[in-house]
Structure 1
Amino acid sequence: MAALDSHSRIRRANDAMLALLDRDTSEVRDIAFTDLLHPDSRSRLRVGFDQLRLGRTGRLTEYVKVPRPENAVGGNLTALRMRADARADSPLLVLVQLDPPTPECPPGGARPTLLGEMEARILEKVAAGASTVQLAGQLHLSCKGIEYHVSAMLRKLDVPNRPALVSRAYTLGILSSGSWPPRVQQEYVKSP
């Protein structure tokens, strides 16, 4: 848990947050919380903090990644305004719950590989707006083959349609934010 001031700078952090950030109190005090996160998490969180602080939302929940020396660890961040009023200078309370380790996701925090090479290529092109027919022509597959891979990704990410698939992929950090054309990060692609 961390308490942030109205400019999203860390005022206090408990031992669990300091361990997550791999820093001590003197290293994090007065640092913008978002500066300690993986670059893919920063811009969404800055906007979310502003919306929360201005009272446009009551709670912020985002999937974030925290860089570590060996790899990034991920988890759900929840932020709340500490005052009930919607003043722009309201401080924030931030909680981060790490993903539980699974057999595919060992305790070091490495993310499981989710997508095959073809699925990754298809996801990138879907995120760029390509249709099934365009994908089939570009990737030398049938339309049914494209639909098969898209359906598999919809199930894997538990979403109902293509726009939700792209949105979930960005939220989970599978698609790298800030790049065009969209790119799947290699840590989410199965090794051949």
Structure 2
Amino acid sequence: MAGKSKHKKENETVKADAPESTPVESAPEATAAETGPDADLLARLEAKEKEAAENYDRYLRAVAELDNYRKRAVRDKEEAIKYGNEKLIKDILPILDSLDRALHQTSDLSARNNFEAFTQGLELIHSQILGCLERHGVVKIAAKGEVFDPEKHEALMQVQTPEMESNRVVDEYESGYTLHGRLLRPSKVSVSKNVSQDTEGQ
């Protein structure tokens, strides 16, 4: 009995002297709650990068389209200036044809002797020219007999006359014209000065 008791005490002493074992803690496992925000942020970043790339591509396309538009605008402007008088020239060509025919007739002696027919031909050409100009917005300024208007008439001289009230256009030496209401050149005229009116005023 004494031997068993002694052996038991020795076992208890060994157990008491043995160091206590420390339990090994396992590494914490990544949970969905911890990795979720990072994954969502990464996905959003990738989406924004894709969106930025698409926006940059659209920007490059817009710049290219704007450059092409500017080139077309310059080309259209150059062509408009170059061919802007095409319609006017087409309208003048028939008048030139009439003038050619009139000049051709003057080569014939009988036509030269027919002054009345030649005059009618010139009047026709003159009428055609005025009609052509009117179709393009050019209007002849009324002058003879009209009240003198310094905005439309240029006085070259003053004519004293008892037959016409003062400040009237007596004669027109060069016709004036407007283009769509804007003055191209004034009519060069003589202006009346009524002598009898001036005498009565004195």
Give the TM interval when normalised to the shorter protein.
under 0.3
| Larger gyration radius, structure 1 or structure 2 | 2
TM-score by length of 1: 0.18
TM-score by length of 2: 0.18
